[in-house]
Structure 1
Amino acid sequence: MTTTTAAPLFTIPIPSTSGSITCTNPSPPDNPQPIYLLTFTSPPDNRLTPSFIDAFLLALDIIEHRYPKGVLITTSGIPKFYSNGLDLRLAQSTPNFVENWLWKLFRRFLTYPMPTISLLNGHAFAAGFMLAMYHDYRIQNPAKGFLCINELEFGVPLQAPMMSVFREKLSPVVFRDVVLGAKRFPGPEALRVGIVDGVGGLEDVLRFVGERGLVKLPATGIYGTMKEEMYRHSLGILDNHAANEEWRDEVERRKGVVEDEGGAKVERWEKEGGRRVKL
């Protein structure tokens, strides 16, 4: 399939980085189809900031409300990165960042009323990897770039909506390696273990769309509804931030009790003559 370099359908600025999100139609001129390619370029590495997410959500709204239903593809205009995740300092200093921005973005993709494909041209780390998982399908560059959840390496625990999508879409063994192993997956291995649905570039994505007949799937108007039911568990977690925080607080309270009891037992053992070998 030969793609076209047609003029953008629209462009949304990302003021904080002088970047942009551009929508084009990559289908061939001799067989135009409602396929929308959103290319985001927010230097240096497409961090999911409030400004980036606001622009992204607006682009999704424009496609849904002003264009025929079809297929949505997202990719990066920065060759090295699909997305390097959050700007952690900005996320931590922005009040209600996760519920007012990040969860909204994840929810939008989880329930979007047309097929969504993440074209992973480069690295997708942390929240960038999560964003890709909230798409329906993923196609990864076979020659460069890794998928990785590396929060374990810098001591930032994952919250419930960050975990749930991996639990729903990956096998238990791969889920373990992603979260507890901080494993880096290149394209061929990600395909082998079922994280991505194919490897390649835009031509391969368009071939994937054609082979699966994805363009016609949203025609009946229930595609988003089907996804809501399919991912009901993750949707419930995204929509219940307060309950998630209450659950975490209770887990931490109980963990504190267990730690205190365990420490007291060790002290008694030591007082009764217990000995340990120093490492």
Structure 2
Amino acid sequence: MATPLFTLPISSTGGTFTCTNPSPSAEDKTIYILTFTSPKDNRLTPTFIDAFLLALDILEHRYPRGVLITTSGIPKFYSNGLDLKLAQSTDGFLDKWLWKLFRRLLTYPMPTLALLNGHAFAGGLMLAMYHDYRLQNPAKGFLCINELEFGVPLEAPMMSIFREKLSAVAFRDLVLEARRFGGPTAALEAGLVDGLADSVEAAVRFVRVRNLQTKAATGIYGMMKEEMWRHSLGILDGHAENVAWRGRVEGRKKREDQIQSGSLGTRTMQM
């Protein structure tokens, strides 16, 4: 029987983050299950992220180091990504909220595991990739980066984590084909997930088999991850530089299009 530790509200949706131990036994006291339930599909909004960050702070500073499993209390979705309209209308959403959450997870001083109970689309899959491990429900749910389908280009930190963690072929198929990876084999073969699990109990077994709950005991786990993922961290921390680079690329493309358009117009008049 799960042992409750704390619950935090998500004010915008009436949802919650609830943290539990899988059981009262001594060996489970450093395995933390953080379940988020934010109707209807766990969108990554400022209030959702604020609650997530607070939960991570509470676990780090009030409880012994162990291992963190995140999952959803909504059976159909792990997370359906950003609320695009809200993200675009919220000043500084990327660097003040989304990149902050990604950075916190990537350097978190204990192992993190995303239990993907259902769909993880777009920002929801990015969120999962910023964990150390991922387990997918073999019977339902797809993993997908589908920005290509609705015409929203990916920002640098949205790309970098996939580039670092996937093969070039899987990275291409995920981003440039918007391919949907389902269970029980596609996501596993592509390296998007580390295994299959259809329940919290199965995820806990994965943790025990790998003895993950002891890995943070020496206090250097977060430091090791900072070195391991320094390229992605540099991209997360370089938001202004990333925006400036994109502006230069778009400016060059615009100038080239204008030159090409002028050249075509001249040739048309000569014909």
Q: TM-score, normalised by structure 2?
A: 0.96
Aligned residues: 269
Q: Percent identity?
A: 68
Tell me the residue number matched to 1:90: 86
> 8 Å contact 2:106–2:131 — kept in the other structure?
yes
What SS does the corresponding residue of 1:129 show, helix, strand or coil?
A: helix
Q: How does 1:142-221 map to 2 (within 5 A)?
A: 142-187=138-183, 188-201=185-198, 202-221=200-219
1:261 aligns with 2:256: no
Task: Name the Cα RMSD after superposition.
Answer: 1.2
Q: How much does 1:257 deviate?
A: 1.7
1:41 aligns with 2:37: yes
Name whichever of 100-109 and 196-205 sits farther off: 196-205
Q: How much does 1:208 deviate?
A: 1.3
The amino acid across from 2:258 in the alignment is D
Separation in 2, partners of 1:196, 1:118: 9
> 8 Å contact 1:85–1:125 — kept in the other structure?
yes
Q: Which runs of 5+ in 2 are unaligned?
A: none
Q: How much does 1:238 deviate?
A: 0.6
Q: How much does 1:169 deviate?
A: 0.5
Q: TM-score, normalised by structure 1?
A: 0.93
Q: How does 1:232-271 map to 2 (within 5 A)?
A: 232-271=230-269
> 8 Å contact 1:126–1:148 — kept in the other structure?
yes
Separation in 1, partners of 2:138, 2:28: 28
Q: Which runs of 5+ in 1 are unaligned?
A: 274-279
What SS does the corresponding residue of 1:108 show, helix, strand or coil?
A: helix
Separation in 2, partners of 1:268, 1:54: 56
> 8 Å contact 1:38–1:73 — kept in the other structure?
yes
Separation in 1, partners of 2:100, 2:160: 15
Residues 211 and 96 of structure 1: CA distance in aligned 2, closer, same or farther (over 3 Å): same
Q: How does 1:108-147 map to 2 (within 5 A)?
A: 108-147=104-143
> 8 Å contact 2:2–2:23 — kept in the other structure?
no
Q: How much does 1:28 deviate?
A: 6.1
Residues 192 and 27 of structure 1: CA distance in aligned 2, closer, same or farther (over 3 Å): farther
Rg bigger for which structure? Answer: 1
1:222 aligns with 2:229: no
Q: Please list the CA deviations of residues 63-122 of structure 1 after superposition, one character each: whole Å capped at 9, or x if unmatched.
A: 000000000000000000000111111111111111110011000000000000000000
Q: How much does 1:27 deviate?
A: 4.4
The amino acid across from 2:220 in the alignment is I
